[in-house]
């Protein structure tokens, strides 16, 4: 049996501060049309795809940042993307900042089916970085000031002929995120990211950014028998160099497609969703082999408790 889904990771190069939504959407449309010519059924765009990665700056009054957030999806600027995708019969997933009607600020990804219907909007769970201005840094990573952590957890959705899951950037470093979706039978996880290569708290990690990116997505895929589509906004954005290396990972943990550039680039893979059962029904037969009674610390405890 095979259930083929042709997927594209639509990597973006930098989006500078003065780039308008219309300019960015034009780039997304170009990638979408390339995807159409290659028979792609689902295109995945990065985290915060519509704007520059604005948490690198701090503003004392958060209302000054309101213009970085969308108020609804679709909206006037993104409607052409929704229209073109529907005309081409392509679904897509896109990350953006959302300021909701109650004034809450979220880092989200919306998944849209091939008929233009919205499958779900996922809100980022693990919010990295810092809450307050840290003037000694060469650039800020103030996501914890700009976004609330999601209260939702990791759902999955029946769409695109399979079981789809979403995570956003830092979520991909946490094995619990994959496992919670794995326990719901996830077959493909879609993950946009913006990862500065310079990690200010520990620069010794800088040269390992690409290794760590692949490490977490390959192991998350393998240990849960799922495809993972990781999509970067890479290149030098407002002076900050960000990791590219978008990739599509098979349930075996193997990378089946990887971006070569740090710019706008489409990578495509024909993914057999039925390949997942080779892992889900054998080595990672959860029902047969897992020992949840031994894992209670995972949900009862947050930080480390060392022995006396
Ligand atoms: N966007 C995002 O989540 N980036 C983080 C950077 C961590 S350093 C504060 C990441 O995990 O890639």
Per residue in 81-95, pLDDT (tens digit) is 999 999 999 999 999
Q: If you average pLDDT over every residue of the chain, what do you get?
A: 98
* pLDDT given for residue 36 in this prediction: 98
What's the CA-to-centroid distance between 244 and ligand 1, angstroms?
13
* Secondary element (H or E) of residue 151: none
At residue 2, the pLDDT reads 86
Ligand 1 probe mutation, 134, 145, 194, most atoms within 8 A of CB = 194
pLDDT value at residue 1: 76
Pairing of strands 188-193, 162-168: parallel
How many angstroms does the Cα of residue 103 sit away from the middle of ligand 1?
A: 24
pLDDT tens per residue, range 245-281: 999 999 999 999 999 999 999 999 999 999 999 999 9
Mean pLDDT for the stretch of residues 9-26: 98
Q: pLDDT (tens digit, 9 = 90+) per residue, 180-191?
A: 999 999 999 999
Whether 257 lines ligand 1, by a CB cut-off of 6 Å, is no
**Average pLDDT of the residues in 22-28:** 98
Q: What pLDDT was estimated at residue 218?
A: 99
Q: Is the pLDDT of residue 192 over 80?
A: yes
Query: Measured between alpha carbons, how far is 249 from 213 in angstroms, rounded to an integer?
Result: 12
pLDDT digits (tens, 9 = 90+) for 200-248: 999 999 999 999 999 999 999 999 999 999 999 999 999 999 999 999 9
Nearest CA owner, ligand 1 atom 1: 194
Q: Mean per-residue pLDDT for 288-307?
A: 98
| Per-residue pLDDT, 46 | 98
- Please state the rounded mean pLDDT for residues 110-115: 98
So which residues are the catalytic ones?
A: 47, 124, 169
Give the single-character DSSP code of 196.
B
pTM beyond 0.85: yes
Tokens of 190: 């879609």
Rounded Cα distance, 15 and 291, in Å: 45
Q: What number is the average pLDDT over the span 98-112?
A: 98
Calculate the CA 91 to chain-centre distance: 16
Place of tokens 């989200």: 108
Q: Which helix (H) or strand (E) holds 287?
A: helix 286-289
- Whole-number Å distance between alpha carbons of 57 and 66: 13
Substitution site in 167, 170, 220 for ligand 1 pocket (most atoms within 8 Å of beta carbon): 170
Q: Are 141 and 196 in contact (CB under 8 A)?
A: yes
Kindly provide the residue ranges of all beta strands, DSSP E only, lying in 72-117, ordered along the sequence: 91-99, 105-112
Bridge partners of residue 3, in order along the sequence: none
Single out the residue of 176, 159, 170, 66 nearest to residue 117, CA to CA.
159
The two three-digit tokens of residue 269, written as one number: 């893979």
Report the percentage of the chain scoring pLDDT > 70. Answer: 100
Q: Give the distance (Å) from ligand 1 centre to CA of residue 172.
A: 10
Rounded Cα distance between 244 and 227, Å, is 19
């Amino acid at each position: 049996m095979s259930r083929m889904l042709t997927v594209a990771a639509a990597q973006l190069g930098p989006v500078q501060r003065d780039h308008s939504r219309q300019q960015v959407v034009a780039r997304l449309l170009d990638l979408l049309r390339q995807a159409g010519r290659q028979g792609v059924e689902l295109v995945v765009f990065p985290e915060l795809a519509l704007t520059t990665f604005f948490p690198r700056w701090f503003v004392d009054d958060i209302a000054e940042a309101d213009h970085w957030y969308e108020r609804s999806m679709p909206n006037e600027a993104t409607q052409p993307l929704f229209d073109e995708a529907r005309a081409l019969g392509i679904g897509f997933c896109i990350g953006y900042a959302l300021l909701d009607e109650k004034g809450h600020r979220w880092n989200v990804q919306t998944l849209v089916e091939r008929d233009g219907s919205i499958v779900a909007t996922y809100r980022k769970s693990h919010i990295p970085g810092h809450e307050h201005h840290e003037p000694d840094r060469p650039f800020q990573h103030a996501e914890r000031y700009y976004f609330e952590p999601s209260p939702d957890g990791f759902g999955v959705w029946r769409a695109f002929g399979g079981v789809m899951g979403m995570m956003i950037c830092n979520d991909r470093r946490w094995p619990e995120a994959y496992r919670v979706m794995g326990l719901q039978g996830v077959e493909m996880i879609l993950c946009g990211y913006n990862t500065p290569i310079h990690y200010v708290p520990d620069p010794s990690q800088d040269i390992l950014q690409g290794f760590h990116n692949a490490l977490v997505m390959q192991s998350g895929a393998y240990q849960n028998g799922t495809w993972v589509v990781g999509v970067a906004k890479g290149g030098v954005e407002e002076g900050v160099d960000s990791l590219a290396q978008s990739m599509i990972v098979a349930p075996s943990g193997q990378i089946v497609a990887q971006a070569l550039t740090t710019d706008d680039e489409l990578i495509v893979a024909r993914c057999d969703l039925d390949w997942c059962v080779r892992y889900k029904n054998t080595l990672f037969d959860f029902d047969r082999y897992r020992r949840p009674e031994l894992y209670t610390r995972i949900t009862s405890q947050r930080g480390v408790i060392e022995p006396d």
